[in-house]
Amino acid sequence: MTVRAEQKGKGVGRGGYPIDEEKSKQLKLVADKMDAFFAHNDEAAFDAVASTDITLHGDLLILDNDLSGADRVKQTLGLYTKAYDYKHENIAHGADIDGGSVFHFWLHQDLKKKEGGGDGKAEELTDGTATKAALWRYVVGDNGKVTDIYFLTQLTPDEKLSMFTDPKLGSDLKFDVMDFKGPTIEPEDNRMSSMLDSAKIFSEIWETGNSSLADNILSKNFKEIAPIFGNKIEGPEKFKSTIDGLFSNYTRTGGMSAFAVDPDSNKAFIHWESKGKMSGDGPDGISLYGLNMLIFDSYGLVETVVGFRQPLPNERVKYMKKVPEKAGAAV
């Protein structure tokens, strides 16, 4: 993973653009260590980059509440890595120097409970090819240690059985995450700046409801895939009508966004948080976050978005057997 910075005069990386070499090394180390943890359950790799007061932020599906403390977070994540056999594929990384964070998209193929785990019911939901795609953001402090982890993932068949009233929810959505691995391309400042600008515009669409902004950044072959609930939007006009429909009864009152670009490929990343109020919603309104990976075509237009987000309150009531009261048992 090559890391690009906006700061000038701190070294030169591939493609001739400046990088902050010290921060680059920190973020590269975090990316490598967290990849090793998820690939091989390498707890020493996790320990090497986790701060003592690290916080794992709940996704409102598997983990309802935030967890803090290195040992507690490692134990919770380990409930998944120790329970399953899988083939780990690192799909993409993106680093945000200014925000001090790393985005990490991975895929687990041939996913199955280890021998002796489960009762066989989960296997009945698949054709033997269960997979789990996940998107993560690791926020890194000045000392190079991870202070916060945000995550959103596809659910395993076991998790769907335990959480959803319909354990086949989302199963109709067919897409191959391996199609998103690569290509490796030579980094260029103009291309990277363009991808970053498009990511910010895409985020602005969701922040403001101004669907007309999509006209300048979306490919005619655009599609947005939502792996958690199995939703799919195809075509720019369908996307714009979705935005218009949402904002006809939603008012955004606050939030934030963070961005990163993979300089070696055709991908950008967004972490967004939104606070708002739906028509008829309670006084506390809605607060949720999402993680997106944007994939660009050869013309520099957004062709595919893989979009993960926390469930809305009405979705939790509609789809879940019960709203969790405490942190879940696996990631």
CA nearest to 268, candidates 306, 240, 230, 298: 306
Q: Which fold has domain 14-172?
A: Nuclear Transport Factor 2; Chain: A, (3.10.450)
Contact 323, 313 (CB under 8 A): no
Domain boundaries of the chain, sorted by first residue: 14-172, 189-318
pLDDT digits (tens, 9 = 90+) for 173-225: 777 888 888 776 766 667 888 999 999 999 999 888 999 999 999 999 999 99
pLDDT digits (tens, 9 = 90+) for 11-54: 434 333 345 667 778 888 999 999 999 999 999 999 999 999 99
Q: What is the CATH number assigned to the segment(s) 189-318?
A: 3.10.450.50
Bridge partners of 140, per DSSP, are: 146
What's the pTM? 0.86
Dig out the tokens for 13 from the structure. Answer: 């990386």
Q: What is the pLDDT of residue 153?
A: 93
CA distance 134 to 237: 28
pLDDT at 59 over 70: yes
CA distance 271 to 135: 10
CA distance 77 to 60: 15
Q: How confident is the model at residue 113 (pLDDT cuts 50, 70, 90)?
A: confident
Say yes or no: do domains 14-172 and 189-318 share a fold: yes
